[in-house]
Structure 1
Amino acid sequence: MKLDDLDIAILKELKSNSKLTFKEIGEKLHLTGQAVGNRVNKLIENNIIENFTININKNYLGLKNTSYIRIYMKDNSHDKILNLINKHDEIVEAYKTGSDCCYVLKIENESNESLTSLLDEILPFANYQISMVLDRIK
């Protein structure tokens, strides 16, 4: 599916405020709510919109730390890191990469102790580098 300017405008509106109704988006873009709904449904059907989500203030969930961990496997036993990723809820994003490291993990947790515990689980089969987020810029 090739996106046109209206599709891109609809995606930008949804990205900035996913609570907007199709009618509200239509008013901004000079379309009917039904026309916006039809376009959104096509975007979903064509896997351009993969899911709808919300951003939660992590402090209300007791999550105070965000870190990124770059994983460097010691051998080819990638099933171990995949099992670990699926086991831990504090790993909120995980990517297999084509760079110098094998995986990049985004961690959100409540304490340095829980992060240390996770790192201790990784160390037997992989080395890692960690970057801790100090402040969100954008």
Structure 2
Amino acid sequence: MTESLDATDWAILAEVERDARIPYTELARRVNLSPSATTERVRRLEAAEVITGYRAEVNLHRTGYPVLAVVRLKYPGTRHEPLHRLLAERPEILECLRTTGDDCYVLKVAATSTAHLEQLVDALAQFGSTTTNVVLSQTLPLRGPREPRASTVG
């Protein structure tokens, strides 16, 4: 589907990403379409699974999880089901990416304290060696891709 996204689709994606609760009438105004055409475009993007959902951004600090960390895990072996069970059981594990390279997994975790983070890292360490980095600040918030720019190399 990526090759069939036009500039209007990319504009819709940018606006919906900025505010997932934007009314179709306002979205239509911002992307210069009628509300019905905008609604149809959004539905097409959802059906094609370009838009896969809508979410609220939660302030971790205000919910009692002020410690954010990235944990890298080297997981020896091929039986990953026990780790997957732990991921499902621990809500403080916010994201888990399976990666190539020295680390098998990269996890984004939130903790109530450094002691809580230590307990979480200990739970993960049963699966392999870990490296933990505490996040000091979020320089760039999570975002989706942007419309590809035409190459100026020629």
Q: TM-score range by the shorter chain?
A: over 0.9
CA drift of 1:28 comes to 1.6
Instruction: Give the letter for the 1:137 counterpart.
Output: T
Root mean square deviation, CA, Å:
1.2
- Kept in 2, the 8 Å contact 1:25–1:36? The answer is yes
Q: 1:31 deviation in Å?
A: 0.8
Tell me the percent identity.
Answer: 27
**Corresponding residue number in structure 2 for 1:116:** 118
Residues 75-126 of structure 1: CA distance to partner in whole angstroms, max 9, x if unpaired?
3332221111111000011111122211111001211111111111122221
For residue 108 of structure 1, give the secondary structure of its aligned residue in structure 2: strand
Q: Aligned partners of 2:65, 2:127: CA distance in 1, in Å?
A: 27
Q: CA deviation at 1:7?
A: 0.4
Partner of 1:106: 108
- Native 8 Å contact 1:68 1:105 kept in 2: yes
Partner of 2:54: 52
Residues in 2 aligned to 1:14 and 1:113: alpha-carbon distance in whole angstroms: 38
Q: Does residue 81 of the first structure (1) align with residue 75 of the second (2)?
A: no
Report runs of 4+ in structure 1 exceeding 2 Å deviation: 74-77
Find the aligned partners of 2:102 and 2:76 in 1 and give their Cα distance.
13
In the other structure, the counterpart of 2:72 is 70
Return the alpha-carbon distance in structure 1 between the equivalents of residues 93 and 126 of structure 2.
Answer: 18
Q: Name the aligned partner's letter for residue 53 of structure 1.
A: R
Give the structure-1-normalised TM-score.
Answer: 0.93
Q: Which runs of 5+ in 1 are unaligned?
A: none
Structure 2 alignment gaps of length 5 or more: 141-154
Aligned 8 A contact 1:64 1:108 in 2: yes
Q: How far apart are the structure 1 equivalents of 2:85 and 2:31? A: 46
Deviations along 1:7-41, whole A, 9 cap, x unmatched?
Answer: 00000111112221111011122211111111000
